[in-house]
């Protein structure tokens, strides 16, 4: 480190929730979309939120003028922000840009959401989180140039209110590595090849930030920790070396902090160590303190600030503060300059435990809140640890060294006491649940021969060629949401609420019959959320009141807290499904959420392996499926949209993950008769990555997202030889666009080019709950019209 390097702050976070404590940003953005507020009004709401965030972070213990507060605001997504900053706007949206390539707010949202015939950028999960980012499209036609100075303006905005903040942007390697080749690109084209053209834009940006007075910038490079992205490791490492030698060599730039959340850097560490960047971030929740470093790497690291990501940004437990402190201390053996941080951005956790009054949960007497840390509590934890590190306190230090150190010791002790209380609390371990999970045998995990199942299901269901269905939910109308709110407030009785939901179900059934769908659903009106609904009906979970977390754009979810052993006190969905089946002769799918997804979209206890927890959830679902079948339901769908999301980023962890994730699905579903058709639904289009897992799930029918990527997945399905039923989506439900009959026909035909017709099902990409009725009905009608046209054209294949 040169003398001119400003000190890195002793404590920081990698990012903070952007949606607002009461989802103010969501509301403002949606009001802007609806045309009820102007762009200026939206801008001023956003500026207010940024100001509130800075003030709050300072109040919680981060410094106002030491670059410890990161600028991670976004109107929609940080990858989209990076794309519009560097001018990577796809040609179909070129008309949105002015002469300098700049895009206004309306244009920004158009790229995210699509318009008319122009599909939006694809969306996919951010590492192993439930956050979705927009996938930049990069091709030979992409002209990189600094097209937005929003980052600089936000820094200046903060400076005007007396703050010296730390601008944050996705790093160039991650930006390109997660990008996809545009349609204009020739075969074999890789966005990472454009690094040389992109770096000058980052250089310009760094220069502008330096002129504005920024002392530190944070470049997020999570791609460096992942072994599951679609780029050869050697190429990724080469890019990192080139990018950070190049940016590092610039003069007059701010100091650079490269953050690498979501895992350990492994072989990327020596590479980054050898570059001139001034600070490196380590995710010490997922990864370990680096050891066995050779002398060159060790001496390079000794000259940098090492940022110890010891507070879990991805979960809500108060955690073991003493252990976190110990890990930060261990990093201090590698460099005289160590700072404390969160492991990831706090984007993944809600704002504040103090916003929860009830934390309702059966079997927990209300001490749950003391076990938790949301974003604000985590900031406080960082501040405590940072003070402790500075004061030389901590587990190994002699007590009473300084009074500051004593104060910190007492914080560490309080966290340890809360942890001990949690582990001993009633409900955390339930003997009956544990005995049942321990007594399972091989047979509990497998169904009969697939061919026999196909024959039995054909006889039981009598479905046409290219059967049509939906993924489960129908639009959640304002009336439905209002009824649920009234039920919660006690303004509706359970009986009145049930009657309203039944009326809704009857409407949805009638609509599906009119449209001509083959396998019907009840539409899930009674579910606020596909995971929370089950969490509310299972023991071992608690739900929050204000614990919102951004999922994508303006969309938020409220993850439940899985704190204890899981069991099902009584049937959950059976009455709804049997009521629905009573309304129609067509088969109705019973709809359940699978164990992996229930885990992925909840905050899960961290005191036992995920696989043990998944097994408990699977047993509860198995009982539910048994009851559905006994009540006459012939098709059951167990959604596992998060199967890919939880796939560990490191290859060495895959086998264990696939073992327990697949095992829990099979445990849930293997109890049914051959004639009962088991569906599953997955929510992403990178089928290839988890094809083995999908095959092993052994579901009779798997529906998967495919429309947004225009059936890219078909190649993977074909080459994998997957031979069960498969429904590649033909309708992108993430966008309000109605696909035309011609468009859907083309997608179906593309599917049939790669997959034998007898396997193919026709369905949307995902559930319809976020859509409006008008567009949903129009789209489903187009899907049916297209299906009929293809059925008429393609000869019905003989049974296999
Ligand atoms: N059955 C759920 C629905 O239709 C599935 C949602 C999902 O995959 N995310 O809403
Ligand atoms: Zn889905």
| pLDDT band, very low/low/confident/very high, at 360 (cuts 50, 70, 90) | low
- Is the confidence at residue 364, as pLDDT, over 60? no
489 class by beta-carbon count within 10 Å (0-12 exposed, 13-18 middle, 19+ buried): exposed
Q: Is the model's pLDDT at 620 over the cut of 70?
A: yes
How many whole angstroms from 506 Cα to the centroid of ligand 1? 20
Burial class of residue 43, CB neighbours in 10 A (0-12, 13-18, 19+):
middle
pLDDT of residue 795: 67
**pLDDT (0 to 100) of residue 117:** 83
The CA distance from 416 to 406, in Å, is 15
What is the Å distance from ligand 2's center to 469 Cα?
Answer: 13
Of 329-338, 456-465, 789-798, minimum mean pLDDT range: 789-798
Are 625 and 668 a contacting pair, CB within 8 Å? yes
The whole-number pLDDT of residue 688 equals: 77
What does the pLDDT read at residue 505? 98
Highest mean predicted confidence (pLDDT) among 604-613, 711-720, 732-741: 604-613
Please report the beta strands in 69-121, taking only residues with DSSP state E, as ranges in sequence order.
70-71
Instruction: Give per-residue pLDDT as tens, 316-347.
Output: 999 899 999 999 999 999 999 999 999 999 99
Tell the CATH topology of 24-293: TIM Barrel (3.20.20)
At residue 398, the pLDDT reads 44
Catalytic residue among 132, 348, 351, 734: 734
Categorize the per-residue pLDDT at 365 as very low, low, confident or very high, splitting at 50, 70 and 90.
low
Name the residue at shortest CA distance from atom 9 of ligand 1. Answer: 641
CB-defined site of ligand 1, < 6 Å: 471-473, 524, 530, 591, 639, 641, 681, 683, 766-767, 769
Predicted pLDDT of residue 708: 82
Is it the case that residue 395 has pLDDT exceeding 70? no
Domain ranges of the chain: 24-293, 452-793
Cα 602 to middle of ligand 1, angstroms: 15
Torsion of the alpha carbons at 277, 283, 288 and 290, rounded to the nearest 10: 0
Q: What is the DSSP letter of 8?
A: P
pLDDT(453) > 90: yes
pLDDT band at 536 (very low <50, low <70, confident <90, very high): very high
Tell me whether the CATH fold assigned to 24-293 matches the one assigned to 452-793. yes
**Phi-psi region for residue 247, left (φ > 0), alpha (ψ -120 to 50) or beta?**
alpha
Nearest CA residue ID for atom 8, ligand 1: 641
* Ligand nearest to the Cα of 638, by number: 1
Span 195-236, pLDDT tens digits: 999 999 999 999 999 999 999 999 999 999 999 998 999 999
Nearest protein Cα to ligand 1, atom 1: 472
Q: Report the predicted TM-score, pTM, of the whole model to 2 decimal places.
A: 0.92
pLDDT at 1: 43
Given this model, what pLDDT does residue 736 score? 86
Give the pLDDT of residue 2: 46
Out of 522, 530, 597, mutate this one to test ligand 1's pocket (max ligand atoms within 8 Å of CB): namely 530
Residue 397 is predicted with a pLDDT of 47
pLDDT classification of 143: cutoffs 50, 70, 90:
very high
State the distance from the centre of ligand 1 to the C-alpha of 593, rounded, in angstroms.
8
Q: By mean pLDDT, which of 156-165, 388-397, 689-698 is the weakest?
A: 388-397
Q: What is the mean pLDDT of the chain?
A: 94
**681 catalytic per annotation:** no
Atom of ligand 1 nearest to the CA of 767: 4
Describe the crossing of helices 150-160 and 39-59 by its angle, rounded to 10 degrees.
Answer: 50
Per-residue pLDDT, averaged over 288-314, amounts to 96
Predicted confidence at residue 683, as pLDDT, reads: 84
Q: What is the arithmetic mean of pLDDT over 131-148?
A: 96
Among 727, 738, 744, 746, smallest CA distance to 768 is for 738
CATH topology of domain 452-793: TIM Barrel (3.20.20)
Percentage with pLDDT > 90 across the chain: 86
More confident residue, 799 or 424: 424
Q: Phi and psi dihedrals of 556, rounded to 5?
A: -125, 155
Ligand having the closest approach to the CA of 769? 1
Q: For residue 732, how far is its CA from the centre of ligand 1 (angstroms)?
A: 13
Q: Taking a C-beta distance cutoff of 8 angstroms, is the pair 564, 368 a contact?
A: no
Check whether 400 has a pLDDT greater than 50. no
Which ligand does the CA of 593 lie closest to? 1
Judged by DSSP in three states, 605 sits in coil
Give exposure, 142-181, as e/b (b: 16+ Cβ within 10 Å).
Answer: bebebbbbbbbebbebbeeeebbbbbbbbbbbbbbbbbbb
């Amino acid at each position: 480190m040169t003398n001119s390097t400003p000190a890195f702050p002793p404590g920081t976070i990698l990012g903070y929730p952007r949606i607002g404590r009461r989802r103010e940003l969501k509301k403002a953005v949606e009001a802007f979309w609806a045309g009820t507020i102007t762009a200026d009004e939206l801008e001023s709401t956003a500026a207010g939120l940024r100001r509130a965030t800075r003030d709050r972070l300072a109040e919680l213990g981060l410094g106002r003028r030491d670059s410890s507060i990161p600028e991670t605001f976004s109107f929609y997504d940080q990858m989209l922000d990076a794309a519009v900053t560097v001018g990577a706007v796809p040609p179909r949206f070129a008309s949105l840009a002015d002469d300098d390539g700049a895009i206004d707010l309306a244009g920004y949202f158009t790229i995210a959401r699509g318009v008319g015939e122009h599909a939006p950028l694809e969306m996919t999960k951010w590492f192993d989180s439930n956050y979705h980012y927009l996938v930049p499209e990069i091709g030979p036609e992409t002209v990189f140039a600094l097209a937005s100075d929003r980052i600089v303006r936000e820094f200046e905005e903060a400076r005007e209110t007396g703050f010296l903040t730390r601008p944050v942007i996705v790093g160039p390697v991650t930006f390109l590595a997660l990008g996809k080749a545009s349609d204009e690109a020739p075969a074999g084209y890789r966005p990472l090849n454009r690094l040389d053209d992109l770096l000058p834009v980052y250089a310009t940006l760094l220069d502008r930030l330096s002129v504005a007075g920024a002392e530190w910038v944070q470049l997020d490079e999570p791609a460096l920790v992942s072994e599951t992205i679609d780029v050869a490791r050697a190429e990724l490492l080469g890019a990192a070396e080139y990018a950070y030698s190049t940016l590092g060599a610039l003069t007059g730039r701010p100091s650079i902090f490269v953050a690498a959340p979501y895992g350990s850097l492994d072989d990327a560490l020596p590479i980054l160590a050898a570059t001139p960047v001034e600070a490196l971030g380590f995710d010490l929740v997922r990864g370990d303190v680096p050891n066995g470093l050779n002398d060159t790497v060790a001496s390079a690291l000794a000259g940098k600030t090492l940022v110890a990501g010891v507070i879990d940004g991805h979960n809500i437990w108060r955690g073991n503060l003493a252990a976190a402190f110990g890990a930060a201390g261990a990093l201090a053996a590698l460099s005289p300059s160590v700072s404390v941080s969160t492991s990831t951005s706090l984007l993944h956790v809600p704002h504040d435990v103090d916003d929860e009054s009830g934390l309702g949960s059966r079997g927990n007497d209300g001490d749950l809140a003391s076990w938790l840390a949301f974003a604000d509590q985590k900031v406080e934890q960082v501040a405590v640890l940072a003070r402790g590190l500075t004061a030389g306190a901590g587990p190994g230090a002699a007590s009473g060294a300084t009074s500051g150190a004593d104060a910190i010791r007492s914080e560490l002790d309080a966290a340890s006491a809360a942890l001990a209380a949690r582990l001993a609390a009633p409900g955390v371990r339930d003997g009956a649940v544990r005995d049942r999970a321990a007594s399972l045998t091989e047979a509990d995990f497998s169904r009969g021969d697939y061919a026999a199942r196909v024959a039995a299901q054909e006889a039981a269901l009598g479905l046409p060629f290219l059967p049509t269905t939906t993924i489960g939910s129908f639009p959640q109308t304002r009336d439905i949401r209002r009824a649920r709110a009234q039920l919660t407030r006690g303004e509706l009785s359970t009986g009145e609420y049930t009657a309203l939901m039944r009326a809704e179900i009857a409407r949805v059934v009638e609509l599906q019959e009119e449209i001509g769908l083959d396998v019907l659903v009840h539409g899930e009106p009674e579910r606020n959320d596909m995971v929370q609904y089950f969490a509310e009906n299972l023991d071992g979970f608690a739900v929050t009141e204000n614990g919102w977390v951004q999922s994508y754009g303006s969309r938020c979810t409220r993850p439940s807290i899985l704190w204890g052993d899981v069991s099902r006190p009584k049937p959950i969905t059976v009455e709804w499904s049997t009521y629905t089946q009573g309304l129609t002769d067509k088969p109705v799918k019973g709809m359940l959420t699978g164990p992996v997804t229930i885990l992925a979209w909840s905050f899960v206890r961290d005191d036992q392996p995920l696989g043990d927890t998944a097994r408990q959830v699977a047993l509860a679902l198995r009982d539910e499926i048994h009851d559905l079948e006994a009540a006459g339901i012939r098709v059951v769908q167990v959604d596992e949209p998060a199967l890919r999301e939880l796939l560990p980023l490191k290859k060495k962890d895959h086998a264990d993950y696939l073992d327990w994730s697949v095992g829990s699905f099979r445990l849930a579903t293997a109890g049914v008769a051959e004639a009962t058709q088991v569906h599953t639904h997955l929510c992403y289009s990178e089928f290839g990555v988890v094809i083995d897992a999908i095959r092993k799930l052994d579901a009779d029918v798997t529906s998967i997202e495919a429309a947004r990527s225009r059936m890219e997945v078909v190649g993977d399905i074909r080459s994998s030889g997957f031979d069960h039923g498969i429904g590649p989506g033909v309708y992108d439900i993430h966008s309000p666009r109605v696909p035309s009959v011609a468009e859907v026909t083309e997608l179906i035909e593309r599917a049939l080019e790669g997959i034998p017709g007898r396997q193919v099902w026709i369905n949307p990409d995902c559930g319809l709950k976020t859509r409006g009725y008008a567009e949903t009905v129009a789209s489903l009608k187009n899907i049916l019209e297209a299906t009929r046209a293809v059925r008429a054209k393609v000869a019905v294949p003989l049974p296999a």
